């Protein structure tokens, strides 16, 4: 049997296009290379002839897309001699920061909104031995504190304002192009801080350029870290579509939101850090922003789980909730190829999943008769 080279993470795979050199010690957990799954059942259910793919980022090592950015941010922090990293987080960034810090042998400080992060994410930060600081405030207040404290303490910020984060995250676009042989027509993402939508656009722009460096304004967001080195040339770039939860939708309001609220705690953000960049992405790609209600988000989460076998966390389902609405209305026309990013795994937030599930959990006596009856009575579900 021929050997397949061992997959060693996205920095190694895309090192020509990332700001590392041969001597850089890579801090990796084998992130990236996530499945691009074609939805089989949902398009039939809605009766539309559209190819919908989901990029299942929940299958990264800590269960979210944050690992793509964190491998880069922690690799560079270590290269630059940092002994500690810090982030504010709605949960996933803190889980990734904690894990990559553990891998690197440095300390992670994570600032989280008290009582507003999903259990799985808190468990991860604690298990990886991060210093967890809960604040009686929201993510946006935590983010401001991180910026302030980093000026007075020897810590590297690993939120997406750290430019290396977006460099790592852009590789998701590379993977999609390599699998489809082209960019999709539409790429739909949930939007919180708007780092990920920006990172994807950087990735698509780099890949679609024939001759490299800084071909668009968006590409310049890499702050000079981009080392695009040729490769496949694809002619098209997607329209980038960002969906927010309607209680936390500053891009829809056209202004910051001071008291964001949503069941999708990962995107409970009212002051996006990548505000200007995301507006440019929307304009350059001729995409749009829209919002979904909590009910629509949870319905999409359930639909994916029940009809496709794909379990994502509520925030992630925002991309599918919005895309399905826009496909049904014809705003995304039939014949299109659509990619929706599923940013985090459903196991991150078991409380919400159990609360909204309609599956019966049947308790019966431990006898053959009772179990057989339970089966017969539920065969038609």
Residues that bind ligand F0G (CB under 6 A): 64, 66, 89-93, 160, 190-196, 266-267, 269, 313, 315-316, 343-344
For residue 37, what are its two tokens? 């799954």
- Distance CA(131)–CA(134), nearest Å, equals 10
Please say which residue, 161 or 234, places its beta carbon nearer to ligand F0G: 161
- Distance CA(11)–CA(368), nearest Å, equals 54
212 is in an annotated binding site: no
Please say which residue, 48 or 66, places its beta carbon nearer to ligand F0G: 66
105 is in an annotated binding site: no
DSSP state for residue 115 in the 8-state scheme: T
196 is in an annotated binding site: yes
Is residue 264 within 8 Å of residue 356, measured between CB atoms? no
Report DSSP letters for 33-53, one per residue.
---EEEPSSHHHHHT---EEE
CB of 47 to ligand F0G, least distance (A): 28
Please say which residue, 267 or 303, places its beta carbon nearer to ligand F0G: 267
Please say which residue, 64 or 75, places its beta carbon nearer to ligand F0G: 64
Question: Residue 40: CB partners within 8 Å, gap ≥ 6?
Answer: 308
For residue 159, what are its two tokens? 């939120």
User: What are the two backbone dihedrals, phi and then psi, of residue 219, each rounded to the nearest 5 degrees?
Assistant: -65, -30
- Distance CA(79)–CA(24), nearest Å, equals 7
CB of 254 to ligand F0G, least distance (A): 17
Q: Give the closest residue to 251 by CA, choosing from 300, 316, 197.
A: 197
For residue 225, what are its two tokens? 């870290």
Task: State the greatest distance between any 2 C-alpha atoms of the chain, in Å, as a whole number.
Answer: 71
CB of 362 to ligand F0G, least distance (A): 32
Is residue 343 within 8 Å of residue 64, measured between CB atoms? yes
CB of 156 to ligand F0G, least distance (A): 16
21 is in an annotated binding site: no
For residue 293, what are its two tokens? 């209600």
Please say which residue, 90 or 336, places its beta carbon nearer to ligand F0G: 90
- Distance CA(372)–CA(286), nearest Å, equals 57
CA-to-CA dists, residue 45 to 139, 259, 307, 362, angstroms: 37, 37, 9, 29
Please say which residue, 101 or 209, places its beta carbon nearer to ligand F0G: 101
343 is in an annotated binding site: yes
Total residue length of the chain: 381
CB of 11 to ligand F0G, least distance (A): 19
Q: Give the closest residue to 268 by CA, choosing from 64, 89, 132.
A: 89
CB of 328 to ligand F0G, least distance (A): 23
Please say which residue, 26 or 266, places its beta carbon nearer to ligand F0G: 266
Please say which residue, 172 or 269, places its beta carbon nearer to ligand F0G: 269
- For the annotated binding site for pyridoxal 5'-phosphate, the residues are 92, 192-196, 343
């Amino acid at each position: 049997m021929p050997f397949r080279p061992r997959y060693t993470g996205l920095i190694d795979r895309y090192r020509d296009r990332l700001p590392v050199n041969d001597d850089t010690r890579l801090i990796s957990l084998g992130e990236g290379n996530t499945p691009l799954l074609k939805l089989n059942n949902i398009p039939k259910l809605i009766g539309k002839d559209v190819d919908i793919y989901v990029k299942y980022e929940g299958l990264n090592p800590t269960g979210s897309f944050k690992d793509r950015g964190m491998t880069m941010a922690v690799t560079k922090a270590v290269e630059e001699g940092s002994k500690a990293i810090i982030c504010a987080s709605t949960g996933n960034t803190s889980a990734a920061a904690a894990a990559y810090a553990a891998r690197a042998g440095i300390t992670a400080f994570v600032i989280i909104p008290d009582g507003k992060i999903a259990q799985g994410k808190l468990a991860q930060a604690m298990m990886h031995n991060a210093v967890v600081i809960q604040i009686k405030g929201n993510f946006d207040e935590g983010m401001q504190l991180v910026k302030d404290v980093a000026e007075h303490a020897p810590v590297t910020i690993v939120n997406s304002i750290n430019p290396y984060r977006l460099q790592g995250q852009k590789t998701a676009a590379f993977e999609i192009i390599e699998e489809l042989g082209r960019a999709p027509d539409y790429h739909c993402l949930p939007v919180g801080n708007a780092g990920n939508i920006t990172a994807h656009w950087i990735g698509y722009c780099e890949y679609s350029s024939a001759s490299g460096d800084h071909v668009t304004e968006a590409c310049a967001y890499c702050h000079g870290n981009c080392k695009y080195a040729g490769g496949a040339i694809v002619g098209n770039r997607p329209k980038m579509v960002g969906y927010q939860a309607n209680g936390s939708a500053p891009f829809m309001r056209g202004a910051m939101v001071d008291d964001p609220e949503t069941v999708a705690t990962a995107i409970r953000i009212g002051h996006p850090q990548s505000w200007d960049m995301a507006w440019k992405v929307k304009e350059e790609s001729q995409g749009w922003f829209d919002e979904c209600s909590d009910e629509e988000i949870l319905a999409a989460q359930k639909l994916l789980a029940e009809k496709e076998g794909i379990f994502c966390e509520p925030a992630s389902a925002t991309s599918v909730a919005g895309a399905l609405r826009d496909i049904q209305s014809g705003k995304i026309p039939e014949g299109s190829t659509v990619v929706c990013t599923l940013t985090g795994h459903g196991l991150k937030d078991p409380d919400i999943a159990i609360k909204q599930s309609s599956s019966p959990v049947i308790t019966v006596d431990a006898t053959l008769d009772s179990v057989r009856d339970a089966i017969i009575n539920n065969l038609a579900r």
